[in-house]
A and B are shown apart, each in its own frame.
Chain A
Amino acid sequence: MAKDGNGSNQAELDTITVYQSFALLLSTIMGVGILGLQRGLVKESGHDAIWIILVGGLLVMLLVYIITRLMERFPGKALMYLGMIPTGDDNRFTWTKWMFLPFLLLAAIYFTVTTGVVVRTFGEVLISAVFMKTPLEATILSLLAASIVVAANRPVVIARFNEFLLPLMFLPVPLVIISLVQKGEWLNLLPLFRLDWNSMIKGVFSSLFAYSGFLVIVVYMARYQQPKKAVRPHIWAVGIVVLIYGFLVSTAISVFGIYEIQRLLWPTLEEVKVIAIPGKIFERLESGVLAIWMLAVFTTIINLIGALVDLVVTYFNIKETRRKWVAWGTLPVLYSISVWPPNLHTVFQWSDWIGMYELVLVLLFILVFSILAGLRGRRKGKEDASSPSSV
């Protein structure tokens, strides 16, 4: 990275600041989940979805914390530099680099499939709610093309893009509050705590799909200005997503009740349809909300593609000027994956699997990084007596 940078100033400009890392993680997690996470959750956990989503979020927070803490020990080295860690040699091409190829592949598959599913889901939202006569291909291609224009840039540009768009994502939240005030019924929220342990654990696992996307940090952390300070922004980002999701789930349950939610494809969207602004200045607010939350989906797609591209470019040591071509090269792959599922039902199934797959991947990476940390710890231990204990 930053090969063309001259001087430390330039290098600093080329890294992701603490606030940008916060924006990056937050916008990646907050994607299509905001429109429809309630249905799956309520189906699994009933009224208890309200706190199940919080518990799931805390679990994700814990995972993010562990992986951040582990990666802190290898500043500037993320997933694609794994091969350099055991040898301690930063630039030499060694056989260890190839040893880690399978892990990279697993991550690349994750980024690719998730992008495909997110693009398809949002394409379906747009078609079923607004552009009823627009072909799916057109929606998907334009979403992907617009995202790739951004994702073809260096990670720091992507991070700046996230930083810039972040405040806009909170714009529709007041509308959801209005719907709560106008139509919310607290009786709909009850009864709570009726789940047994078994279904509670199942519910928590199924809530993980709503948080999918946090895995991008294993790529972007290589570009952080202060990797040692990454824990705080990461925890804050996940925490805010947890709060927003908890809020969206509880308002939707209070407006519709759990029985109606299960019949709604996009509960948040329908919630906005219910409200009336006095004076009839705006009617049919759902298109406006979709337009704003399109940004949320865009940032998710951009960050995922950006991670994929950065992974490939860095690992294969491709010249910076070729990054664009790698990015555009992903278009056919991403496009074919997003049109693959025959219907929305299959898409939802895929996104459930992605949630599980991401969990497995994160656990795997935690394992890999702790082994590496252990190895390094032991080597250091040989050098000086005080050895940091491995996780």
Chain B
Amino acid sequence: MPRHLPLYKAIALILSLSLVSGCWDAREIEERTAAVAVALDKVGDQVEVTVEIPDPLKISGGGGEGSGEGGEEAVQLLSGKGDTVTDALDEIQFKSNQDLFLGNSQLLLIGEELARAGIRDVLDSFRRNPEIRRRQWPVVVKGRAKEALKITPKLEQVPMDYLLNMLETGVRSGLFLREGLNDLYVDLSSPGKEPVLNLIEAESEKAKWVGGAVFHRDRLVGFLDQKETGALVRIRQQFTGETLNAPCGSQSGWVVFRPKELNRKVKIQEVKGRPKIHTTLNITGDIVEKNCNMDFSQEQAMKKIKDSIKKRLEKRAQALVQKAQQDLKTDIFNYGNRIRALHPDMWERMDWDQVFPQADIQISYKVEIRRIGLQAR
């Protein structure tokens, strides 16, 4: 039995359908100025925001006559200054032909000066804006963040892509710090966690990863170099870190060890009101280079090398611990979080900021060599 849709129902249906689709917010992609990277700097008392906007016509594959141009040619940088981030973004809006859209941004560059002054207030507007992804990389730039967007890499057309690929490759290989925007937010709001961001330095044609930027609460307090960051990623996030040169025992020359697997065990005790934290890292890897005449087929030599690597790793780790406790006075290893979770009574009794520099922190390695490459000895 065919039934007709009553008129009022049809009207209601059409009305609600047209409203549900959200026409008010319909903005076509070509009506948007999509920023792919945002740089934040402090200039005097003001915030300077710089956005990188790629020009699709100038990027090869996008067609158009000027295809294949690279670097600054393919992108436009727009900057704005203001007392607040929103002020600065408004100023950028006044300079751009379409609505500024930050939802495609994958890189958040933070200038050194701004980082030292504290990033919480600057990040607030990003936290409120639903366009901003939680999956993007916040990175500290030595000097001005804007400079990092001005690089003209030959390998990528959009400088942001270059930086982003560099970071993602580094994180995937277990070398860089895995600290995305979401992690940064979480670290900033959780007691017992401190953010350590990747640090890059801009040169004319390229950018370089130079280590880590240590934050205490939301303020930048110091830098770690590449070697120190290598030690940090092992302890902090169970990454393998970079290769390591170890002396060939008594002979001159080096053996190069490339870690492949790592796991961590942390033991926390309270000794005389002072936390005692013992971290054991089991590290497994290969020998990739040797420039001394040591014979690996001998059990004795292998043991010597393992000892040598272990000593070297532990020395680095101890130096890092010392730097964290004495210079930075910041718990870069996030031990505080572990105490909060596993020893809540201890955590409630103490002020971790005060206690951390006095804590007894020991780090020991267990080294295992699996392979020595295609050479038999």
The interface of chain A, by Cβ under 8 A from chain B, is: 126, 128-135, 138-139, 141-142, 145-146, 148-149, 183, 187-191, 194, 256-257, 259-260, 262-263, 270, 273-274, 276, 284, 324, 328
* In the complex, B29 has a CB within 8 A of chain A: no
Q: List 17 A-B contacts (CB under 8 A).
A: A135-B24, A138-B19, A138-B24, A145-B12, A145-B15, A146-B12, A149-B9, A183-B182, A187-B337, A187-B341, A187-B342, A191-B342, A260-B185, A260-B190, A274-B134, A274-B135, A324-B8
B83 to chain A, nearest CB (A): 23
A273 to chain B, nearest CB (A): 5
**Contact call B127/A263, Cβ cutoff below 8 A:** yes
Which B residues are in CB contact (< 8 Å) with A128? 130
**Contact call B19/A141, Cβ cutoff below 8 A:** yes
Asked whether A149 and B16 contact (CB < 8 A) given A187-B338, A256-B186, A274-B135, the answer is: yes
The residue that A274 contacts in the complex, of B22, B182, B342, with Cβ under 8 A, is B182
* In the complex, B63 has a CB within 8 A of chain A: no
A239 to chain B, nearest CB (A): 30
**Contact call A276/B342, Cβ cutoff below 8 A:** no
The residue that A131 contacts in the complex, of B13, B25, B340, B342, with Cβ under 8 A, is B25
The complex places the Cα of A276 from the Cα of B134 at a distance, in Å, of 10
Could you tell me which residues of chain B, from 108 to 133, have a CB within 8 Å of some CB in chain A?
127, 130, 133
**Contact call B16/A194, Cβ cutoff below 8 A:** no
Q: Closest 8 interchain pairs by CB?
A: A142-B19, A190-B341, A191-B344, A134-B24, A146-B16, A259-B189, A131-B22, A187-B341
The complex places the Cα of A65 from the Cα of B103 at a distance, in Å, of 48
**Contact call B189/A263, Cβ cutoff below 8 A:** yes
A188 to chain B, nearest CB (A): 7
The complex places the Cα of A256 from the Cα of B127 at a distance, in Å, of 14
**Contact call B135/A273, Cβ cutoff below 8 A:** yes
Which A residues are in CB contact (< 8 Å) with B185? 260
**Contact call B130/A132, Cβ cutoff below 8 A:** yes
Q: Chain A at the B interface: mostly helix, strand, loop or mixed?
A: helix
Which A residues are in CB contact (< 8 Å) with B190? 257, 259-260
Number of B residues near A (Cβ < 8 Å) is 30
**Contact call B341/A188, Cβ cutoff below 8 A:** yes
The complex places the Cα of A128 from the Cα of B20 at a distance, in Å, of 15
- Residue of A135, A270, A328 most packed against chain B (CB within 10 A): A270
**Contact call A149/B135, Cβ cutoff below 8 A:** no
B342 to chain A, nearest CB (A): 6
Which B residues are in CB contact (< 8 Å) with A188? 341
* In the complex, B253 has a CB within 8 A of chain A: no
The complex places the Cα of A217 from the Cα of B190 at a distance, in Å, of 42
A129 to chain B, nearest CB (A): 5
The complex places the Cα of A262 from the Cα of B130 at a distance, in Å, of 17
The complex places the Cα of A131 from the Cα of B130 at a distance, in Å, of 10
A286 to chain B, nearest CB (A): 8
B264 to chain A, nearest CB (A): 13
The complex places the Cα of A146 from the Cα of B135 at a distance, in Å, of 35
Which A residues are in CB contact (< 8 Å) with B189? 257, 259-260, 262-263
**Contact call A273/B134, Cβ cutoff below 8 A:** yes
Apart from A130-B25, A191-B341, 16 more pairs, CB < 8 Å: A134-B22, A141-B19, A142-B19, A145-B15, A145-B19, A149-B9, A187-B337, A187-B342, A189-B341, A191-B342, A257-B190, A259-B190, A259-B191, A260-B185, A263-B189, A276-B135
A147 to chain B, nearest CB (A): 9
Which B residues are in CB contact (< 8 Å) with A149? 9, 12-13, 16
The complex places the Cα of A126 from the Cα of B134 at a distance, in Å, of 18
**Contact call A130/B186, Cβ cutoff below 8 A:** no
Which A residues are in CB contact (< 8 Å) with B191? 259
Which B residues are in CB contact (< 8 Å) with A263? 127, 189
**Contact call A142/B15, Cβ cutoff below 8 A:** yes
Asked whether A270 and B22 contact (CB < 8 A) given A183-B182, A190-B341, the answer is: no
The complex places the Cα of A133 from the Cα of B19 at a distance, in Å, of 13
The complex places the Cα of A127 from the Cα of B17 at a distance, in Å, of 17
The complex places the Cα of A145 from the Cα of B20 at a distance, in Å, of 11
Which A residues are in CB contact (< 8 Å) with B9? 149
**Contact call A257/B186, Cβ cutoff below 8 A:** yes
**Contact call A142/B130, Cβ cutoff below 8 A:** no
B338 to chain A, nearest CB (A): 6
**Contact call B16/A145, Cβ cutoff below 8 A:** yes
The complex places the Cα of A274 from the Cα of B189 at a distance, in Å, of 17
Which A residues are in CB contact (< 8 Å) with B341? 187-191
The complex places the Cα of A189 from the Cα of B337 at a distance, in Å, of 11
The complex places the Cα of A131 from the Cα of B19 at a distance, in Å, of 11
Which B residues are in CB contact (< 8 Å) with A142? 15-16, 19-20
The complex places the Cα of A139 from the Cα of B24 at a distance, in Å, of 10
Which B residues are in CB contact (< 8 Å) with A126? 22
Which B residues are in CB contact (< 8 Å) with A256? 186
Could you tell me which residues of chain B, from 298 to 353, have a CB within 8 Å of some CB in chain A?
337-338, 340-342, 344
The complex places the Cα of A260 from the Cα of B193 at a distance, in Å, of 12
Nearest residue (CB) in A for B191 is A259
The complex places the Cα of A263 from the Cα of B128 at a distance, in Å, of 10
A321 to chain B, nearest CB (A): 12
Asked whether A130 and B130 contact (CB < 8 A) given A146-B16, A149-B9, the answer is: yes
Which A residues are in CB contact (< 8 Å) with B20? 142, 146
**Contact call B103/A284, Cβ cutoff below 8 A:** yes
Which A residues are in CB contact (< 8 Å) with B25? 130-134
**Contact call A190/B342, Cβ cutoff below 8 A:** yes
The complex places the Cα of A131 from the Cα of B24 at a distance, in Å, of 7
The complex places the Cα of A257 from the Cα of B183 at a distance, in Å, of 11
B346 to chain A, nearest CB (A): 11
The residue that A270 contacts in the complex, of B8, B24, B134, B338, with Cβ under 8 A, is B134
The complex places the Cα of A145 from the Cα of B13 at a distance, in Å, of 8
